[in-house]
Structure 1
Amino acid sequence: MNNQELAKKILKEVGGETNIYSFTNCVTRLRFQIKDKKKVNQQALNDIEGVLGTQFQNDQFQVILGGKVVNVSNELNELVHLSSDEKEVSQEKKSVLSHVLNTLSSILTPALPPVIAGGLLKGFIFMFLSLGWVAGDSDSIIFFNALSDAMFYFFPFLLAVSSAKIFKTNEYLALTLAGLLMYPFAITDGQEIISLFGMIPVVVVNYSSSVLPIIFSVWLLKYVKNFFDKVISEMVNMIFSPLLSLLVVGPIAMALLAPLGFYIGEYLAMGVKWLIDFSPWLAGFIVGGTRPILVLGGMHHAMNPIMQQEISSFNSSQMIAMVLMSTFAQATAALVVYVKSKDMKEKQVALSAVIPGFLGITEPAIYGVLARYKGAMIAACAGGGIGAAVSTMLGGKGYAFVMPGIISIPAFMGEGFTGILIGIVTTISVTAILTFVLMNRFNEKAESESVKKDELNQVDLNIASPAIGEIVPLNQISDVTFSKQVLGKTVGISAQEETLYAPLDAVVKAVFPTNHAIGLELEGGIELLIHVGIDTVGLEGKGFEVKVKQGDSITKGTPILSFSKEIIKSEGLSDTIILVITNTENFSSVEAIVEEGSVDLEKDLFKIKK
């Protein structure tokens, strides 16, 4: 499935364009602001090939895609045309802390690509200088230093744009406020305080690389601009609303909000440093050990402002080094699962998660592997925690905000780099050993079922009839989708009775809202659609009763659906039972054993070869 097809399927299952306020993406997941949660088909989304998982997190609906998220997001941008004046997203009741963290994450996420790129570039420059490969005073190094510093030094400009989008105010006025924060007045001559109107003190602070000052300022701009837009006549609004907004917000921002944000950030960074200094091993163990759980819950972005503030305040971050250890732990656990698993499908999933994991994208490992193997998840948490504890005790730290992974290691070169190397070795060793020991300790049943399924996949399977009746030739089925077998190998039955039964042991994968059709996953991964009648969806459930629910595990012979032949025929519709193997292409051969005559619950309809 290509990215465009994946985007179309995701858009359909989140309720379509009309059910979306807005959407964005981070490094690994799409983040939707949804109007009506009931219209989101979460189960169908989870079943889409390429979707690693979904979840509602605060007021966001997140679709986890891993490394392909950017391309899928680009395809969604082509499919979705949201108006710029969309209504404010309705706010459900949630804690103040939850709202603040979610807002910070939404503002910082769009600014991550240039920051990550700059961090990697700074790491490589540092490595080249340390190894003596380039001269520090060369024009090329001066240029690339500027390139790697630009997004950090002018970080308020990046955040001004994303803040304006989140707070729904004018982006260019927000950029003007960022320019005011970065304007070099009073810095060159050493002044620390200037006075507005001879009475309002403004503390002169270097706001480069800062986070909170511009966010606070743009937040105020939203309310001030909205106020002037309402009270000023439309004829002169374009002139006076921006002017008055800047005249009000500028002084308040510089005298109060920006210094407040600056010192909140500084003290937050100092608090984190104090906790790390107080007990390096405990801080490392907690951060490194809980990282997979935070990622699983979509809460890991709340740590980004802290790491960025550490770098802004101290030119380095110990927390980002802790996250690096967890990254290696998660990737190592997935690698061990690949080596040890006996299920070919599981091995493929694990292997596809290893390379992105070591590069820093761990969602494929977490959702595709660790969430299924609890022992591997425990091993990754323990290994990441122990490795981070060792690294922190030995002074490991990062010198740029990067996506922690193998290619970003140059950003950790400097004081404490020995601690980074020892921490990585410890992380990989502990995680590998624990994963080998614990992998199947907590899900032996699942592993044995996987082996059984793998063995089952090597033999032929026959599928019995779910009803007693007569075979209906394909050329007598009025719907060409079924008669031409567009969806897969198809058989029609004219049932004598009004109850259908499970033809094999199965899991109920889908129950259609109108109750006229059921999707089953049978032994060996066979996907069977049982569809009652032609065009019976128009009955809207009248005359149908489903006896199972989605997610049920059922055995052969279990009653799954009943229907009224009388009601169907009274509407002038056909009551033919349609059976379709919807993943026919996955098998070397799918044959219809019976093409005419009578059938019963013991008579096989399909013969399938792997």
Structure 2
Amino acid sequence: MNNRDLAKAILKEVGGEKNISSYTNCITRLRFQLKDNEKVDQQAIDALDGVLGSQFQSGQFQVILGGKVVNVTNEFSELVDLPDESDKEADEGNKGILSNILNTLSSILTPALPPVIAGGLLKGFIFMFQNFGWVNGSSDSLIFFNGLADSMFYFFPFLLAVSSARKFKTNEYLALTLAGLLMYPFAFADGQTMIKLFGFIPLAVVNYSASVLPIIFSVWLLKYVKRFFDQRIPEMVNMVFSPLLSLLIVAPIAMVVLAPLGYYIGEYIAAGVKWLIDFSPWLAGLIVGGTRPILVLGGMHHAMNPIMQQEVSSFGSSQMLAMVLMSTLAQATAPLVVYFKEKNIKEKQVALSAVIPGYVGITEPAIYGVLVRYKGAMIAACVGGGVGAAISTMLGGRSFGFVMPGLLSLPAFMGEGFIGVVIGCLVSVIVTALLTFVLMDRFKKEKKVNKAAETVTDLEPAITVSSPVVGEQVPLDRIEDATFSKEILGATAAIQSADGRIYAPMAATVKAVFPTKHAIGLALENGVELLIHIGLDTVSMNGEGFELNVQQGDLVQKGDVLLTFDQDLIKSKQLNDVIIVVITNTETFGAVRKNENVSKIDLNQNLFDITK
């Protein structure tokens, strides 16, 4: 299927042009804001040749396309002609505040990243050529290319002004004017730290070059002020007075309040990251490198881009980018081992197709095509990336430019700490390869062959787990949370409760009770560890509508009511009240099989059959 046909198929399966409010793309995904999610045929989309997977995440429907996303998006743009709709604050208000902030930052930063990535890579090559003595450090050519590389960082507010204006749907040229004000030379007066506006309003003199948040905050305010004047000034003179009045109001507020606020927020975030790295380099590396595949799976990895960019802006380098590089190489190595070990020809081809993009820096094909299907490989990539990142961070590994972390961008890491980057890369690859080789087949369902009948049958279950919920089972492909639908935490079942109660499936100890009351952890007497999660995103309710009957450490018996919850209240907040049941220690058993033969389920029916 060529890109044009794929774009047509995706358009059809998302419900057609009339069902699309807006769409955009990042480096690997085509992202939709849809009017009616029920019109999406997700199974049909996942089955399309060229689609690596799809998911509903943070209010978006995301189609994962990997390296071909730009070409498919270009074809898609020729098929649809969406009107320039007004803002959808009311619609977005139904999503979490944090989710909206992360989505906004991602949609603003992503279009501005290509020149910044190019600049970071160019800086790396310049350093490499100088380090090896291949060029004269004072040559005019080197000065020129240094200027080219530096300009992309130094004038970053101008790039963000354009993408911010497009996101907030306001005038791009006025936004560029605000960026110019941020970069105006008065901000660099020798020894001057403050100037007085109107003779009495203090305005801090700050260097906003390479900053991220100041221009975003300023353009956000411009959106509302300009709209206010556009609606009230007659069209005949609107073109003259609306821009003038907008700038006269926005510029002082931006320079006195918003820009310094954004600057210091960014500085404190960068300082906080540096503090964590200085406090415990190995722990910081282990966390960032180990969780990166999970963040990519949930589409949350773009939230780290502003932090890494701020690191470069504040300190001239980013250690977090080095951590992400270790995880990237781990995610590319796991499919390579799968390719050599897997016997199925089709699976080998899928694995091999994910290797080269992975080492370049595009890991979605590896994650969605391989790692989610081979849990052992996913675990190996998380551990390998975490260990490599821990070692790299302890040895001072860092990137001196904002780049797409991959083998091609290694020149950007050359400098202080480069030996740490090299050692970390080797450790990531070796640890991931060894663990993938050992764990790849660990989590496959065990089978035995009845030679007389020449059929394959499952091993007899040694352990059974009853349902903790009375209700109706829900297919996992309807769950709009990749962590659960892809069974990342372990074998997972979803149940729609009939009575708003959670019961003990058998004698157990309450291992964990979450402060927000929306989840309970149980250690069953048969050795199974169970997580019972009530609803999706219900953590935002902060315990409202939940009534706990147990505490951590309590012993419970089969049928005891552990918790009750208000299903109507959850639904009124437009949240999903489905119950997620996860065996969190799945990897310790030989095979776990869900009872999918019955739709309606009660406390006396087995939810899982487990083979040791």
1:383 deviates by 0.4
Match of 2:103 in 1: 102
Gaps of 5+ in 2: 450-455, 457-474, 478-593, 598-612
1:172-571 alignment runs, 5 A limit: 172-445=173-446
Paired amino acid for 2:221: L
**For 2:55, what is the secondary structure of its paired residue?**
strand
Contact 1:338-1:348 at 8 Å conserved across structures: yes
1:70-219 alignment runs, 5 A limit: 70-86=70-86, 88=88, 90-91=91-92, 93-219=94-220
Stretch deviating more after TM superposition (149-158 or 299-308)? 149-158
Distance 1:92 1:14 in 2: 23
Distance 2:439 2:379 in 1: 8
Distance 2:48 2:228 in 1: 46
Distance 1:348 1:71 in 2: 22
Match of 1:25 in 2: 25
Match of 2:537 in 1: none
1:446 deviates by 9.4
Contact 1:325-1:427 at 8 Å conserved across structures: yes
Contact 1:55-1:63 at 8 Å conserved across structures: yes
Contact 1:288-1:381 at 8 Å conserved across structures: yes
Paired amino acid for 2:104: T
Contact 1:341-1:347 at 8 Å conserved across structures: yes
Distance 1:444 1:117 in 2: 46
**For 1:61, what is the secondary structure of its paired residue?**
strand
State the percentage of identical aligned residues: 74
Distance 2:345 2:213 in 1: 49
**For 1:205, what is the secondary structure of its paired residue?**
coil
Paired amino acid for 1:212: L
**For 2:224, what is the secondary structure of its paired residue?**
helix
Stretch deviating more after TM superposition (88-97 or 274-283)? 88-97
Paired amino acid for 2:216: I
Per the alignment, do residues 287 and 554 of structure 1 end up closer, same or farther by CA in structure 2, a change over 3 Å counting?
A: closer
Match of 1:61 in 2: 61
Contact 1:21-1:86 at 8 Å conserved across structures: no
**For 1:21, what is the secondary structure of its paired residue?**
strand
Question: How many correspondences in the alignment?
Answer: 455
Deviations 1:509-554 (CA, angstroms, capped at 9, x unpaired)? x9xxxxxxxxxxxxxxxxxxxxxxxxxxxxxxxxxxxxxxxxx999
Paired amino acid for 1:33: Q
Gaps of 5+ in 1: 449-454, 456-507, 511-551, 556-610
Distance 1:87 1:206 in 2: 32
Match of 1:461 in 2: none
Contact 1:159-1:211 at 8 Å conserved across structures: yes
**For 2:314, what is the secondary structure of its paired residue?**
helix
Paired amino acid for 2:95: K
**For 1:403, what is the secondary structure of its paired residue?**
coil
**For 1:201, what is the secondary structure of its paired residue?**
strand
Distance 1:445 1:42 in 2: 30
Paired amino acid for 1:151: M
Q: CA RMSD in A?
A: 2.1
Distance 2:138 2:304 in 1: 36
Paired amino acid for 2:345: M
Distance 1:259 1:388 in 2: 33
Per the alignment, do residues 381 and 231 of structure 1 end up closer, same or farther by CA in structure 2, a change over 3 Å counting?
A: same
Deviations 1:313-333 (CA, angstroms, capped at 9, x unpaired)? 000111000000000101010
Deviations 1:330-350 (CA, angstroms, capped at 9, x unpaired)? 101010000000110000000
Per the alignment, do residues 415 and 355 of structure 1 end up closer, same or farther by CA in structure 2, a change over 3 Å counting?
A: same
Per the alignment, do residues 141 and 38 of structure 1 end up closer, same or farther by CA in structure 2, a change over 3 Å counting?
A: same
TM-score, with normalisation over the residues of structure 2?
Answer: 0.72
**For 1:23, what is the secondary structure of its paired residue?**
strand
Distance 1:416 1:85 in 2: 49
Distance 1:66 1:446 in 2: 34
Distance 2:84 2:151 in 1: 29
Distance 1:446 1:375 in 2: 18
Paired amino acid for 1:364: P
Distance 1:446 1:289 in 2: 32
**For 1:32, what is the secondary structure of its paired residue?**
strand
Deviations 1:86-135 (CA, angstroms, capped at 9, x unpaired)? 55362252322221111111111111111111111111111111111111
Distance 2:308 2:49 in 1: 34
**For 1:395, what is the secondary structure of its paired residue?**
coil
Contact 2:126-2:142 at 8 Å conserved across structures: yes
Deviations 1:214-260 (CA, angstroms, capped at 9, x unpaired)? 00001111111111112222222221111100000000000110011
Deviations 1:347-391 (CA, angstroms, capped at 9, x unpaired)? 000000000000000000000000000000000000000110111
Contact 2:187-2:206 at 8 Å conserved across structures: no
1:188 deviates by 3.9
Match of 2:36 in 1: 36
1:444 deviates by 4.1
Distance 2:275 2:333 in 1: 31
1:261 deviates by 0.5
Structure number with bigger Rg: 1
Distance 1:415 1:27 in 2: 29
Contact 2:387-2:427 at 8 Å conserved across structures: yes
Paired amino acid for 1:370: L
Per the alignment, do residues 86 and 13 of structure 1 end up closer, same or farther by CA in structure 2, a change over 3 Å counting?
A: farther
Deviations 1:35-56 (CA, angstroms, capped at 9, x unpaired)? 2211221111111000001111
Distance 1:277 1:374 in 2: 33
Distance 1:265 1:554 in 2: 49
Match of 2:49 in 1: 49
Distance 2:425 2:35 in 1: 44
Distance 2:144 2:171 in 1: 33
1:399 deviates by 0.7
**For 2:178, what is the secondary structure of its paired residue?**
helix
Paired amino acid for 2:376: G
Contact 1:21-1:87 at 8 Å conserved across structures: no
Distance 1:349 1:200 in 2: 62
Stretch deviating more after TM superposition (182-191 or 195-204)? 182-191
Distance 1:264 1:77 in 2: 36
Paired amino acid for 1:427: S
Per the alignment, do residues 293 and 186 of structure 1 end up closer, same or farther by CA in structure 2, a change over 3 Å counting?
A: closer
**For 2:22, what is the secondary structure of its paired residue?**
strand
Paired amino acid for 2:9: K
1:173 deviates by 0.9
